Chain A
Amino acid sequence: MNEITRLMNRAPKWATWMIYAAVGVFILTVVQSLTDTERLTSATTSSAMLRWAVPIMLAGLGGLFSERAGVVNIGLEGMLALGMWFGAWGTINYGPWWGLVIGIIGGGLGGLVHAIATVTFGVDHIISGVAIIIAAPGITRFLSLEIFANYDGGSITQSPGVDGVGKFTFPFLAGGSIGGWKSPDILGWFMDHGWWFISDLASVGRGLTFNLSQMTILAYLLVPLIGWVLWRTRFGLRLRIAGENPQAGESQGVNILRYKYIAVLLSGALAGFGGAYIASPELNGIYLEGSTLNRGFIGLAALIIGNWRPAGVMAGALLFAYPTALGKRDLEGTSTHSLLLVAVIALAFVVLWALSRNKTGDAVLAGVLALLAGFWFLAADTVPKWWTDVQPQLIVILVLVFFAQRLRMPMAVGQPYRKGES
């Protein structure tokens, strides 16, 4: 066991993530063979997961920026709604790329309000966030009444159809073309051979590389970019000091207020991107009132289980999006049912982990939960619809129960800061 840990620690980060992902697919393959289902590792499921995760991830990354600078942003849900409206409006009038820019600006306006309230006037972060959540649907309703209601096919609750940006397929991996030459489709070749695990791995991979919207790729490129900005640049260091110990930063001459403003603005802008993505054909293909579906809150949950780190947020968003994406296509109800077996295996890993650290209480608790999930798996053939709905919440609760001590939030998050107090 220790040998493996040492090897894993020496490997580069991206390789570690790849190994985790492969282990995940391996577990899914085992479960799939045991339960005789076929959707768990299908390319359509992984491709839907990739798209479903984007707004959750962008909201989470927005929360990351804001909380790293010490400002709690629960208004993300409202900023998603603003981004969705402005994204749809911009796309209808100026095309999808301008729509994205306008959506980002729309979300950024929500961030600006939050920044003015919390940073300049020292309003409690939660109160300002709630105000934005309440105000945003009112603002979008008003704007729809004034603008979309006059469009052909629009109404006070929805816009006409929204166009999308171009698609991209990775060359070699999934057979995309380079300058008109069609490259070989390697993952597709492996996928079609029906080899146990290898074809499953290729099929998941092909779903993640074939026919992606350029907007999707842009969203995922933000993850390493944000990691680099926050941990490898002077700007990032100063932004993080605003969330860890603003007084210390101030004594070193850092303009804390400015960094907090920038962080909250970027937070709103990222949520605006997420909102514009919801309105794009990758998800809704329309602005529809109330269709943010709490993705902003789930994004905050992804932020927590992702331990306030960009890659963690992405992993959390993918983890939350997977059962949803699976559930939508699971017409037989057997695949969502087999997720119970996945839960049993995951909890068994938790038991092993807890035992290796002499946490007997945690091990017993995880063991009991695993038994309950296992009993449910054997007792029923299908699960009710709410099973997929509650999975994000369940995962967060479990992570908080077992791993809370390993999570570390920015020290000064949520605390009021006034210039010149230190």
Chain B
Amino acid sequence: MRKRLLLLLAVLLSFSLIAAACGDDDSEADAGADDAGTDDAGTDDSAADDDMAEDTSDGSEDESDMDEDEGDMAEDEGDMAEEPVASVGLVFDIGGEGDLSFNDSAAAGLARAEAELNVTTSKVSPNDDGSNRAELLQLQADSSDIVIAVGFLFETDAAAVGSANAGSNFGVIDSSMLDFSGETPAPYADNIAGLVFSEEQGSFLVGAAAALKSTNGHLGFIGGVCCFGLIEKFEAGFIAGAKAVNPDITITSQYITEFPNFDGFNDPASGRETALAMFEGGADVVYHAAGGTGLGLFQAAKEHTEASGTKVWGIGVDSDQYNTVDAELQEYVLTSMLKRVDTAVFEIIKAHIEGTFGPGEQRYDLSVDGVGYSTTGGFVDDIVDQLEEFKASIIAGDIVVPTDPAEA
């Protein structure tokens, strides 16, 4: 009996070892933050990140502007001393680095800043329920001049930690970081900026692409979670873009769950079921803004195409999904609406260094390539000219893209 107990104890111990290893993420991150002064933190990663950056930039057409900027920066760098000009602390959203989407895009922006701006960087990921966000922000604020938090879920914590650490600047992705409690919306503090994207403009372009490619005059939109204001912008832009091409087009919209139930971003099975219903109802191009749920859209496009014999398409979101889905699904990814988190991260770091950091809402739209569309796979090559015309009109202000589906 005693022997058996010992054996069980051994098994339990080995399990606790595994459990301890799961905490690794955080402890590694802590270590990275501690020696933020050295370049050790994540040198292996940056190679991978560079690849990632190349992948995502395939899609955007106006890289040339960017390249000029880069050129300028490179010259500046020559004048600079070896001493780093700033330290940057990045806090990932739940999911952490390696999610092939949002967080990896932020990491790519950070890697670019490291390569071009002579800054030191450190990266940390929250635990899987995100309960240690405030502590991670504080940790980064202690050792960095500028702290970047990835995701709107950081809003409350960043406002509190930012107000208490006036010595560091804070940037929060996807939240305007404006305090709406007063008469007029005002920044929480002078050192807190919110980096937001004009998703409706990018969605407008993929909406136009969908309408140009559709043979049935029937499109679909799948949103992950409705009623907290973010995903509706995607829907509004998509509808407006489709109608700009064909005013009589039919668009079926469906959301998977309703705020505050965020399961709708994590449910590929529901995405597939809903997309199948849309395809069976006559839609032939469907756009999703539903995170992980969106994979189901491409599965459904393949399934429906093979069952019915007529080709249907899905449109991806955030990153270039042609590069993230399995090879057998790639031919169903018409294009993707790109949200250039990497651009925003890079630009806010640059603004910090140049002393142009501004508090409150910092908007990244088509004119600075904060959003765009991808061309990987070559499925939209024949309509790029028309899309570029729309893009120019939006930048010029001739087309104002609505953010509310009711106005689209």
Contacts and interface: CB of A to CB of B under 8 A. Distances in A.
Interface in A69-122: 112-113, 116-117, 120
Given A281-B299, A285-B299, A389-B257, A331 B277 contact: yes
A156 B11 contact: no
Contacts of B128: 137-138, 141, 289-290
B274 A328 contact: yes
A294 to B, nearest CB: 8
Given A288-B268, A290-B266, A155 B258 contact: no
A157 B258 contact: no
A142 interface: yes
Interface residues on A, range: 35 or more
A48 interface: yes
Given A286-B268, A385-B226, A156 B277 contact: no
Contact of B295 (A286, A293, A329): A286
A116 B25 CA distance: 27
Interface stretch (B96-104, B233-241, B361-369): B96-104
B284 to A, nearest CB: 15
Of B257, B270, B281, chain A has the most CB atoms within 10 Å of the CB of B270
Contacts of B375: none
A389 B258 contact: yes
B292 interface: yes
Contact of A145 (B98, B256, B280): B98
A141 B326 contact: no
Interface stretch (B16-24, B136-144, B201-209, B397-405): B16-24
Contact of B273 (A116, A153, A278, A329): A329
B22 A328 contact: no
Interface string A111-148: 01100110010000000000000010111011001000
A157 B24 contact: no
Interface residues of B, number: 52
B317 to A, nearest CB: 16
Contact of B15 (A113, A278, A285): A113
Given A44-B276, A293-B266, 11 more contacts: A44-B280, A113-B12, A117-B12, A139-B19, A141-B128, A142-B22, A283-B269, A284-B269, A288-B266, A293-B267, A385-B257
Interface of B: 5, 8, 11-12, 15, 18-19, 21-25, 95-100, 104, 128, 226, 252, 254-258, 261, 263, 266-270, 272-274, 276-278, 280-281, 292, 295-296, 299, 324-329
23 contacts: A48-B273, A52-B269, A113-B12, A116-B12, A117-B12, A138-B128, A142-B21, A145-B98, A149-B98, A153-B327, A155-B99, A155-B104, A156-B96, A157-B292, A283-B269, A291-B266, A294-B263, A328-B270, A328-B273, A330-B277, A385-B258, A386-B258, A386-B261
Minimum-distance CB pairs A-B, first 10: A138-B22, A385-B258, A156-B98, A328-B273, A283-B269, A329-B277, A161-B326, A142-B22, A284-B268, A155-B100
Interface of A: 44, 48, 52, 112-113, 116-117, 120, 135, 137-139, 141-142, 145, 149, 153, 155-158, 160-161, 278, 281, 283-286, 288-291, 293-294, 325, 328-331, 384-386, 389
